[in-house]
Amino acid sequence: MAADKQFSPQYVAADRSRSLLVVAILFAILEVIFVALHFTTRITKISTRSGETYLLVPAFFFCFANSIIAFCKFLPLLC
């Protein structure tokens, strides 16, 4: 969307992009916390590496990229 476009008052009143941005940031923070907790427990328990440990890293990057895409999509609407 162009930066010079003016939105109608009805659109601005119904706009939920700020809520979606907060949710995208919240999910990104929660992803980092849970992945860090998972690897912390794996290191402290000295358990064998299983399939979910190896699949967690690519899944984390895909989910984090999704949060970044959502963040970048709604950022221009807030300015």
Q: What is the mean pLDDT of each run of 10 residues along the chain (79 residues)?
A: 64 70 83 88 75 84 83 66
Residue 28, CA distances (Å) to 21, 23, 31, 55 in order: 11, 9, 5, 18
What is the model's pLDDT at position 6? 75
Structure tokens at 3: 């930066």
Q: What pLDDT was estimated at residue 33? A: 94
pTM over 0.75: no
* Per-domain boundaries in the chain: 53-79
Calpha distance 32→70 (Å, rounded) = 16
pLDDT at 48: 67
The residue behind tokens 């979606």 is 20
Can you give the pLDDT at residue 39? Answer: 83
